[in-house]
Amino acid sequence: MTHHGPQLITYADRLAGDLRGLRALLDGPLAGAFDGVHVLPFYPPFDGADAGFDPQDHTQVDPRLGTWDDVRALAAGRTVMADVIVNHVSADSERFLDVRERGDASPHAPMFLTLDAVFPDGVTEEDLARIYRPRPGLPFTVMTLGGRRRLVWTTFTPDQVDIDLRTTQAWDYLTDVVEALTSGGVRMLRLDAVGYTGKEAGTDCFMTPATDAYTARIVELAHARGAQVLVEVHGHHTQQIDIARSVDLVYDFALPPLVLHALTAADLDPLAGWFAIRPTNAVTVLDTHDGIGIVDVGPSDLRPGEPGLLAPEKIDALVEAIHDASGGTSRQATGAAASNLDLYQVNCTFYDALGRDDRRYLLARLVQLLVPGVPQVYYVGLLAGGNDTDLLAATGVGRDVNRHRYTPDEVDAALARPVVRAQLAALRLRAAHPAFAGEHAWHVDGTRATLRWTAGGEHVTLDLDVADATFALRATGPDGERTVLRHTDLP
């Protein structure tokens, strides 16, 4: 069964040590708050070059985290989501190591993309300049394959080698991955970096018609095995609307920057504009293991001439507001300051992005929980964590600023904080209240807004004012309406 209440997003190791520890946390102090959990890559090596998004063996559980039996136990009574890393594998995977040794003589050679696989008739400067990429430079790494120097396609890092979804070998591989995950109890598959798979000469190699065809094929594989599919794409907001028509779920990546803008500029109009057009088959987030998306609300080269949800000057003001609120630590972790140059994201915890203001932070979370969709809460966000500048300094990887490794004592201390207890109260309401199975309505008037869910005689209502971060969350219960949370509950 797939549940649609709140889900936790977490690395097993960074929150709870391993899969068993994660299950104990969800069944213990977090009981009743989450219907599901998105466990970030637990394949070997979970601590690789890109925190598990560079799998050497995508069909196995890293034994340091547990076994498939542990995944199945985690899935008892809740939905487990896992990543299908569609675009690439580790350069140290067994298949690619064989290609490195034997070149075209390897049976796996067709699975991996080289420059000439996409441009067999040669490539021009214009072809190369057109390729869309999340980081500066060209997406190729010089490697020796079977004694021959080749340009291998590496969209993200030289440790992650792109696969060619035009080949039988790639589909045999992806089918094995989907089969392993669904056999292990996983009922939601998140397609990671799928937008980059449809590389074709004469295009920008991003979100091409081939991408749509590959996505549809994976959706078919998943549905045949009882799983739903969530597509992860950062891009112009109209692309999310388009994608939502053909898959089970898309991310609402526009919500986080629009909520931040509302709370930092006391301006609800852009958020109201998004409410009017956003897809409702969405997974809502404030924070994730990646940065806070900016491309998702701005104009984009991917949709020339179409405006974004936020004007460029408002985006610039928002980015500066985040840097100021975080005391400059997000600036150290973002763009050219950090090695993983994610040009379209600001690397910062959501708590620091709001200056560690408990009231504004809780209000942001309440807005997320009352928007239609499946709310996902990142483990650092759940615990109202600040930027981990020590981890950033140790690794030089910008996104690590929002990937803290919690000790059990740190988890216990965070769970005792009023802002964390308030989030858990709101999550338990979202998971259990019958009104959320009904109709949603919203109204914006200047800096004030009301979000409301109604089913029969039951309702949940959030009244708020972004000018001063005042709010009241009210819900019906056995004894009539009660106030669940208000701004005065927090210092």
The binding site comprises 50, 88, 190-192, 232, 289-290, 342-345, 399
Of 241, 240, 253, the closest CA to residue 345 belongs to: 253
**Is there a catalytic annotation at residue 192?**
yes
Q: Cα separation of 151 and 163, whole Å?
A: 13
Annotated binding-site residue numbers for substrate = 50
H-helix or E-strand spanning residue 145: strand 140-145
Q: Of residues 35, 232, 252, 388, which has the active-site annotation? A: 232
Output the CA–CA distances (angstroms, integers) from residue 43 to 58, 227, 326, 401, in the order listed. Answer: 6, 19, 33, 22
Q: Look at phi and psi of residue 384 and say left if phi exceeds 0, alpha if psi is from -120 to 50, else beta.
A: left
Output the CA–CA distances (angstroms, integers) from residue 15 to 93, 262, 320, 403, 404, in the order listed. Answer: 27, 30, 30, 10, 8
Between CA 464 and CA 471, with CA 465 as vertex, the angle to 5 degrees is 40
Dihedrals φ, ψ of 37, to 5°? -145, 130
* Structure token digits, residue 337: 């300051």
Annotated binding-site residue numbers for sucrose = 88, 190-192, 232, 289-290, 342-345, 399
Torsion of CA 340, 341, 344, 350, to 10 degrees: 50
Q: Of residues 18, 70, 192, 287, which has the active-site annotation? A: 192
Tokens 């609800």, residue located = 268
For residue 45, is the peptide bond before it cis, meaning its omega torsion is within 30 degrees of 0?
A: yes
Residues annotated catalytic, as ranges: 192, 232
